[in-house]
Amino acid sequence: MDELPFVNTPLHIAASVGHIPFALEMMRLKPSFAKKLNTDGFSPIHLALQKGETQMVSRLLQVDGDLVRVKGCEGITPLHCAARTNDHIDVLAKFLLLCPDSIKDVTVQNETALHIAMKHDNLEAFKFLVRWLRENRIKNDEFWESKILNWEDNDGNTVLHLAVLNNQPKAVKKLLKSGVNINAKNLNDEIAWNLLMANKEIPPGGLWQEDYYPNNTTQPKIRDASGIPKHPGGDFPLEDVAGTPVVLLLLIPATYIYSILRLAFLALFENMGAASSFSDLFMGVAKSFADLFMGVAKSFAD
């Protein structure tokens, strides 16, 4: 059997029916069977997951934690399989605890586990993976967090593209707070930010207000290594911002320029729907912008 590239071993059968004692004995006698693919391109742990034999999955991993990274048909790993359904959040947690580097694995379509979760509309699995990336940064921490969150599949889509295209506002908010690249462009020349602005199912006003002003109070105080307050989030496309008072910008340190431009644009966007005339719109934007500026000034005072 070892000579055959694809074969159904006794371990495949035991794993798929949940016969734990026999499966563990087979792993002891023939360790190579654990990574062997059957004629459908699946390893024993893939089959155990598909059949819902989570106890079998746990026992197999106790023997060999690297089974999390076994690539089956189309390069799909057990982590990718678990990301397809919201029923396997605990399994995802166990996989990443045993093998954190498995988050780097991609399919033949160049999809990460985050891509797969979003393509299957599994919001809970997706949010768990993003949260795990932030809380349990792997080796080269911030580099890998940023690289995985901005990873492009074979169509050039990042997970932000997919979240917008699948009308998942909660996923979009999670990604924006994680500082993803909103200017990423896919192979259809579609920029993630432009898709978001054109999506009628995801109101931008609600996205930003909750993210940047929790409980409608003040701007979050996040400080960089120099101790200077900065605004959370990633890069913001300056070409989308118009009409920001230049004199006011000259009074603000460089670290706040992106934040003010970002929030001025959003203030304009949010007041457009409520205004009954141009004067109402102007007054609404002016008031919103004044509130934002006072928030910045207050953060300096603090």
Q: Please, which residues bridge with residue 223 across strands?
A: 229
As separate numbers, helices (DSSP H) first and strands (DSSP E) second, the chain gives 16, 2
**Side-chain half-sphere of 98: how many Cα atoms within 13 Å?**
21
pLDDT in tens, the chain (302 residues): 566 667 899 999 999 999 999 999 999 999 999 999 999 999 999 999 999 999 999 999 999 999 999 999 999 999 999 999 888 899 999 999 999 999 999 999 999 999 999 999 999 999 999 999 888 765 556 667 789 999 999 999 999 999 999 999 999 999 998 889 999 999 999 999 999 988 887 766 556 544 433 333 333 333 343 333 333 344 434 333 333 344 334 434 443 455 555 555 555 555 555 545 555 555 665 665 566 555 545 544 44
Quote the distance between the C-alpha of residue 36 and its chain's center: 31
User: Over the stretch 196-239, which tens digit does the pLDDT of each residue have?
Assistant: 988 887 766 556 544 433 333 333 333 343 333 333 344 434 33
How many angstroms from the chain centroid is the CA of residue 77? 18
pLDDT digits (tens, 9 = 90+) for 176-192: 988 899 999 999 999 99
For position 26, what pLDDT does the model report?
A: 94
Beta strands in 136-251 (DSSP E): 222-223, 229-230
Within 136-168, where are the H helices?
A: 141-149, 159-165
Contacts of 151 (CB under 8 A, 6+ apart): 106, 110, 112, 114, 115, 158, 159
User: What phi and psi values does residue 108 have, to the nearest 5 degrees?
Assistant: -65, -20
Unique residue bearing structure tokens 């991609």: 106
Selection from 12, 86, 84 nearest residue 46 by Cα: 12
Nearest to 234 by CA among 158, 293, 291: 158
Predicted confidence at residue 223, as pLDDT, reads 36
